[in-house]
Amino acid sequence: MKLTDILLGRRLANRENTQQKIGWFAGVPAMGLDGLGSSSYGPEAALTILIPLGALSLAWIGWVIGPIVALLAILYLSYRQTILAYPSNGGAYTVAKDNLGAGASLLAAAALMIDYVLNVAVGISAGVGALTSSVPALHPWTLELCLGILAVVALANLRGTREAGWLFALPTYLFLASFLGLIGWGLVKLAMGHADPVIAPPPLHHAVEGAGLWLLLRAFAAGCTAMTGVEAVSNGVGAFREPVVREAHRTLTVICLALGLLLAGIAAVAHGYGLGAMDQTQAGYQSVLSQLAGAIVGHGPVYYVAMGSLLTVLCLSANTSFVGFPRICRLVALDDYLPRAFAVADRRLVFSAGVLFLTVTGGALLVMFGGITDRLIPLFAVGAFLTFTMSQLGMVVHWRRKGRAHWHRLALNALGAVTTMIALAIILAAKFTEGAWIVVIAVPLTILFLVAVKRHYAGVARRLAVHEPFVVEETEPPTVLVAYEQRNRMTDRALRFAMTLSPDVLAVHLLRLGGPDEEADVAAVKERFERDIAAPLAAAGLTPPRLITVPAPYREIQGPILDLVEKIDADTPGRSVAILIPELVLRHWWQRLLHGRHGRKLRAALLAHAGPRLMVITSPWRA
């Protein structure tokens, strides 16, 4: 357990829970890495769609990024309201459950869970992809790097959200400072008329086609990937310290404001310096943010600090999933739609079942795709926007129920619902054949699984439910059978225990358990039992246990004992039967390999097959 303490920290008591809560400063790195990191690939993805426009794309970039920033603003304002209305947890699942019913809440939960799982694989592999394209020597280690980062993020989160937040604070704020600074400096230079880039981006070619509506919509859909991760704060409200709403609002504000400034700033600087996306498959490829930094400050130390912090933020963007996923799973599990283990706080007060599930599935996806999950990116925004829509719709119903005084809030969430729904439709249409269809299949399958789990729990609960008053039918002590191979300290103790429970004790000795070549001298066994145990007890005036010998023709203990129990049940109706199995408790796991499993097999068989009036008693003896 020493190693666990070092890796995970000491265990925490329930009352230490409040000390594990975070404020906005740790909240931004804990929940915002996904959202902030996506500022690098959102505009890039949009500009990549615009490549056919060549130089003409500069004229249209504002028309693509503008609506995205507007949508972000709407989402920001409506999620502020959600946090205020649901200060314990404002995730899409809760909001939909409260206002739209169980079906809608399962839809939101499934979409969000799939989104979080994908984000782990996509986030890490995108980060490592960016890393290996700047340091090509690392390329052969792609998968190892991915799994290593996954392990670091998982371990940090097993220690707690608070520790993960503090651990990842430095790269996050460094990234914000450097890129906001860079963009600001670029805008100042442009405003002052210095439009000559330090390092000139490759010139944009002439347009090979005109700007059509469908192209712009596709660019918009691609750019919307910048917005995934915005729901994380509402879903992680439970992680914040008091005053919860204020800390959550500040966190959301920092994330959305920074993201909005980055998006708008990137668009403005790209426009000013004439930056466009480059074909990733071509040699000499540079990302838009790399061109942007180069154009503003050249390849000096600032460039490397900025790009380094960007890479770190990208690599760690999976952290958002690790904060959100366990919390959504906990809520779903509390409603019996997921195994109850997801709702249990572990030694660090973390819902570690969710963390571990995310680690395993994320790791499996990374291994399956060899650390290159580009093909999963199209799947990504669908879940997020489906979640947005469900959450906004739920809030609309929420405000309607609250009455007329809240009409302006209702209007805001309605605007959010409509815009995200439109965005979702565009994304689905634009990306359906690229892989978004997988989400369309995966979401219903996930819902089916959730419902199946609920059905199992409901069935068990129904069978367990008791409506009659408590009655006692029998008061006589049970017949106690003691598994008895030969006399030793362990069986002596077992017999003594049995005699405290009931005057009716039977020692059961099985013959030829080891196989046909085993000697079985029944007379000697009986004689020794009589001499060593029965006679001294009788002399002391006590009822001694009786010995029965039973053949074990198939060398297993279960069959003969079950038959015997059935016979006793028939002979003494209304009385229970208890079977006492002496168990050798070993100090080390490997010692188990040296000792038989007869006892454990017998116990399992009795629990699985014996009648309703049976108990299995283990009397431990430490070797």
- C-alpha–C-alpha distance, residues 247 and 407, integer Å: 26
Q: Does 6 bind a second copy (CB under 8 A)?
A: no
Q: What's the helix, strand, coil split of the chain in %, to 5?
A: 70, 5, 25
CB of 575 to a second copy, least distance (A): 8
CB of 233 to a second copy, least distance (A): 19
CB of 113 to a second copy, least distance (A): 17
- Taking the least distance from each CB to a second copy, the nearer of 19 and 280 is 19
- C-alpha–C-alpha distance, residues 408 and 559, integer Å: 73
CB of 338 to a second copy, least distance (A): 9
Q: Does 419 bind a second copy (CB under 8 A)?
A: no
Backbone angles phi, psi at 370, to 5 degrees: 60, 25
Site string for a second copy, 319-358 (x = CB under 8 A): --------------------xxx-xxxxx-x---------
Which part of the chain contacts a second copy (CB under 8 A), choosing from 50-58, 75-83, 155-163, 607-615? 607-615
How many CB atoms are closer than 10 A to CB 550? Answer: 14
Q: Is 155 exposed, middle or buried (0-12, 13-18, 19+ CB in 10 A)?
A: middle
Judged by CB under 8 A, the chain residues 222 through 251 that form the site for a second copy are 238
CB of 530 to a second copy, least distance (A): 11
Helix or strand or coil: residue 44?
helix
Instruction: Kindly give, in sequence order, each residue whose CB lies less than 8 Å from that of residue 194, ignoring residues fewer than 6 positions away.
Output: none
Q: Does 623 bind a second copy (CB under 8 A)?
A: yes
Q: Does 594 bind a second copy (CB under 8 A)?
A: yes
- C-alpha–C-alpha distance, residues 523 and 39, integer Å: 85
Judged by CB under 8 A, the chain residues 506 through 545 that form the site for a second copy are 512-517, 532-533, 536-537, 540, 542
- SS3 readout for 420-479: HHHHHHHHHHHHHHHHHHHHHHHHHHHHHHHHHHHHHHHHHHHHHCCCCCCCCCCCCCCE
Which part of the chain contacts a second copy (CB under 8 A), choosing from 28-36, 122-130, 406-414, 460-468? 460-468
Residues in the chain: 623
- Taking the least distance from each CB to a second copy, the nearer of 340 and 402 is 340
CB of 158 to a second copy, least distance (A): 15
Cβ-contact 107, 447 below 8 angstroms: yes
Q: Does 555 bind a second copy (CB under 8 A)?
A: yes
Backbone angles phi, psi at 507, to 5 degrees: -90, 125
CB of 37 to a second copy, least distance (A): 30
- C-alpha–C-alpha distance, residues 332 and 314, integer Å: 29
Which part of the chain contacts a second copy (CB under 8 A), choosing from 220-228, 256-264, 306-314, 450-458? 450-458
Cβ-contact 308, 196 below 8 angstroms: no
Q: Does 456 bind a second copy (CB under 8 A)?
A: yes
- Taking the least distance from each CB to a second copy, the nearer of 334 and 440 is 334
Which part of the chain contacts a second copy (CB under 8 A), choosing from 77-85, 223-231, 374-382, 599-607? 599-607
Which part of the chain contacts a second copy (CB under 8 A), choosing from 116-124, 212-220, 395-403, 603-611? 603-611
Beta strands 546-551 and 505-511, pairing class: parallel
- C-alpha–C-alpha distance, residues 530 and 538, integer Å: 10
- Taking the least distance from each CB to a second copy, the nearer of 245 and 305 is 245
Judged by CB under 8 A, the chain residues 463 through 482 that form the site for a second copy are 463-466, 469-478
Which part of the chain contacts a second copy (CB under 8 A), choosing from 55-63, 126-134, 423-431, 499-507? 499-507
Which part of the chain contacts a second copy (CB under 8 A), choosing from 1-9, 300-308, 314-322, 454-462? 454-462
Site string for a second copy, 251-280 (x = CB under 8 A): ------------------------------
Q: Is 391 exposed, middle or buried (0-12, 13-18, 19+ CB in 10 A)?
A: buried
Residue type at position 37: G
- Taking the least distance from each CB to a second copy, the nearer of 15 and 408 is 15
Long-range contacts of 332-336 (CB under 8 A, 24+ apart): 332/93, 332/109, 332/113, 332/450, 335/97, 335/454, 336/453, 336/454, 336/457, 336/458
Q: Does 418 bind a second copy (CB under 8 A)?
A: no
The residue from 207, 356, 418, 616 that contacts a second copy (CB under 8 A) is: 616
Q: Under rule CB under 8 A, how many of the chain's residues touch a second copy?
A: 91
- C-alpha–C-alpha distance, residues 450 and 439, integer Å: 16
Backbone angles phi, psi at 582, to 5 degrees: -70, 135
Angle at Cα 424 formed by Cα 418 and Cα 428, nearest 5°? 150
**102-134 vs 301-315: helix axis angle to the nearest 10?**
140
- Taking the least distance from each CB to a second copy, the nearer of 242 and 279 is 242
The residue from 139, 444, 585, 601 that contacts a second copy (CB under 8 A) is: 585
